[in-house]
Amino acid sequence: MTDVIFATASGVGGAIAVVRLSGAGIDPIVRALSGTLPAPRRASVRRFHDGEGRLIDQGLLIRFPGPASVTGEDYAELHTHGGRAVAAVLTATLIALGARPAEPGEFSRRAFGNGKLDLLQAEGIADLIGAETEAQRVLALDQAGGAMSEAIGAWRGRLVGLMARQAALIDFADEDLPPDVEAAMLADIDALHLDVMAAIGAGVAAERLREGVDIVVLGAPNAGKSTLVNVLAGEDVAIVSDTPGTTRDAIGVRLDLGGVPVRLVDTAGLREAADAIEAEGIRRAEAHARRADFLILCAAAPDFVVPAAPAGVPALIVATKADLAGACPAGALAVSAQTGAGVAALVAALTEHVAALVARGAGPALPRPRQIACLRDMAAALERAMAVAEPELRAADLQAAANALARLVGVIGVEDVLDQVFSSFCIGK
């Protein structure tokens, strides 16, 4: 039996407040508040009273007996007016009646424990709460709605079948089995391994979407980096000056490019440092460039000197101050922050590049490091299973793959990660 928890699941101070309750023993609390129990799953107008019979508010009451509820327990919602005074009295009354405020993520934790959602869906809910852009919302909604879990469930069915076939090969080793039985099983293991590897690749892109794409602006002093950042941000986030070395540290600003969250980073000008502080700024600029998802390389008119970029990091050359010169380097995008020429084309180009960085395939795309780590463990186990000749060792590797898959959806071995997962939720979820 679980105790009754409650939380306000709506914004503070709005016109309407939604208070959620879950746990065994809800009915006496609801009856004490409203006088009578409404029919299940029907919104009923009720007057809510405190323990001394004084009116708190009038609103709607909806009751969902378990296990057919979002948490799998007896569950209810109170829809009241959203004033702080109403909330304060209602909270005090619920506590006096034996309920307690919920901990962060406790509603979803109970739903998970009662089989109403798996760990992937729970993490999807957390990501949906934190989504800032349209693309993040779509990704989180796919996961919270069970689309990812359905795909992973299909993997589970294939893996269980492989384990059963391997067990049969061990049990009937003395039988004269056709040689193509083992070959077909190895081919199926390879096919599953390829699907998992594709999901790992998609997961890297999904993680970048969840966390945001880092775009770093590099260039020499007075190459127009800070001005360009201000233009793209639509506000003055970086100090602009004709004095070389004005920008000493990396300055980041959040953007939304085509629904993808982007962190645009202005950096110190790359040159021989004049002092220790500027040297540290240049070191940080180079470090940001190595870690970046994408680079904007600013080459200013009239010389258009393109800065060196770390190997392996995709980049776009931008010819800044293009209004001061006629021709710009081949392959560069000419931009003038002064006149606005080329800015729209730059935004379009960056949006296209960012979309490519977060592009996902049709299969599962899991954005969290924990999830990707489980997939890597599963892929490694399947790879070992294909490499060994001994049936018993292959069976052990298939079991290891199953264990990794189980950790992914929260079937076994997840107690050490549950608190971390659910503590990121807001109160009332």
CATH code where residue 85 lies: 3.30.1360.120
Q: For position 1, what pLDDT does the model report?
A: 53
22 annotated ligand binder: no
- Residue 194 exposure: Cα atoms within 13 Å on the Cβ side: 6
| Total count of domains within the chain | 3
Tens-place pLDDT, residues 4-56 = 999 998 866 678 999 999 999 899 999 999 998 999 999 999 999 998 899 99
Asked whether the beta carbons of 158 and 188 are under 8 A apart, the reply is yes
| 351 and 270, same domain (yes or no) | yes
At residue 59, does pLDDT exceed 80? yes
Q: For position 43, what pLDDT does the model report?
A: 94
Q: Is 111 contained in some domain?
A: no
At residue 237, does pLDDT exceed 60? no
| 231 and 321, same domain (yes or no) | yes
Distance CA 319, CA 223 (A): 9
Distance CA 225, CA 204 (A): 29
69 annotated ligand binder: no
67 annotated ligand binder: no
Asked whether the beta carbons of 29 and 45 are under 8 A apart, the reply is no
242 annotated ligand binder: yes
77 annotated ligand binder: yes
At residue 242, does pLDDT exceed 50? no
Q: What range does the domain containing 58 cover? A: 5-102
Considering the chain, what percentage of its residues have pLDDT values greater than 70? 86
Q: Is 382 contained in some domain?
A: yes
Q: For position 400, what pLDDT does the model report?
A: 94
Question: Confidence band (pLDDT; 50, 70, 90) for 90?
Answer: very high
Question: Confidence band (pLDDT; 50, 70, 90) for 246?
Answer: very low
* CATH number of domain containing 203: 1.20.120.430
* CATH number of domain containing 229: 3.40.50.300
Tens-place pLDDT, residues 371-425 = 999 999 999 999 999 999 888 999 999 999 999 998 888 764 334 445 544 555 5
Looking at 102, 130, 147, which one is the last position of a domain? 102
244 annotated ligand binder: yes
| 265 and 353, same domain (yes or no) | yes
Looking at 333, 357, 381, which one is the last position of a domain? 357
Looking at 331, 357, 383, which one is the last position of a domain? 357
Tokens describing residue 234: 């639509």
91 annotated ligand binder: no
323 annotated ligand binder: no
pTM confidence score? 0.72
| 220 and 168, same domain (yes or no) | no
Asked whether the beta carbons of 78 and 19 are under 8 A apart, the reply is yes
Q: Is 88 contained in some domain?
A: yes
Q: For position 250, what pLDDT does the model report?
A: 60
At residue 240, does pLDDT exceed 60? no
At residue 175, does pLDDT exceed 70? no
| 265 and 380, same domain (yes or no) | no
312: left (phi > 0), else alpha (psi -120 to 50), else beta? Answer: left
Q: For position 98, what pLDDT does the model report?
A: 93
Mean predicted lDDT score pLDDT of the chain: 84
Say which residues have a Cβ less than 8 Å from residue 137's Cβ, sequence separation at least 6.
128, 131
Q: For position 420, what pLDDT does the model report?
A: 45
Tens-place pLDDT, residues 305-347 = 888 888 888 998 888 887 776 677 778 888 887 788 888 998 9
At residue 354, does pLDDT exceed 50? yes
| 336 and 249, same domain (yes or no) | yes
Q: Is 29 contained in some domain?
A: yes
User: Which of 143, 166, 123 lies closest to 401 in space, CA to CA?
Assistant: 166
**Cβ density class 287-314: b for 16+ within 10 Å, e for less:** ebbeebbbbbbbbbbeebebbebeeebe
| 298 and 385, same domain (yes or no) | no
243 annotated ligand binder: yes
Q: For position 385, what pLDDT does the model report?
A: 95
Sheet with 333-334, side-by-side order of all strands = 251-257, 260-266, 213-219, 294-300, 315-320, 333-334
Distance CA 114, CA 386 (A): 37
Q: For position 336, what pLDDT does the model report?
A: 84
321 annotated ligand binder: no
Q: Which amino acid is at 252?
A: G
224 annotated ligand binder: yes
Question: Confidence band (pLDDT; 50, 70, 90) for 278?
Answer: low
Q: Is 200 contained in some domain?
A: yes
Tens-place pLDDT, residues 182-194 = 888 899 999 999 9
Distance CA 260, CA 344 (A): 17
245 annotated ligand binder: yes
| 220 and 199, same domain (yes or no) | no
25 annotated ligand binder: no
Q: ω before 302 within 30° of 0 (cis)?
A: yes
Question: Confidence band (pLDDT; 50, 70, 90) for 243?
Answer: very low
Question: Confidence band (pLDDT; 50, 70, 90) for 125?
Answer: confident
Distance CA 378, CA 156 (A): 11
Q: Is 397 contained in some domain?
A: yes
| 393 and 315, same domain (yes or no) | no
Q: Is 362 contained in some domain?
A: no
| 15 and 150, same domain (yes or no) | no
Considering the chain, what percentage of its residues have pLDDT values greater than 90? 35
Q: Is 156 contained in some domain?
A: yes
Tokens describing residue 213: 């794409």
Q: ω before 307 within 30° of 0 (cis)?
A: no
| 350 and 241, same domain (yes or no) | yes
403 annotated ligand binder: no
| 195 and 227, same domain (yes or no) | no
247 annotated ligand binder: yes
Give the length of the chain. Answer: 429
Tens-place pLDDT, residues 128-154 = 888 888 888 988 888 888 888 888 889
At residue 272, does pLDDT exceed 80? no
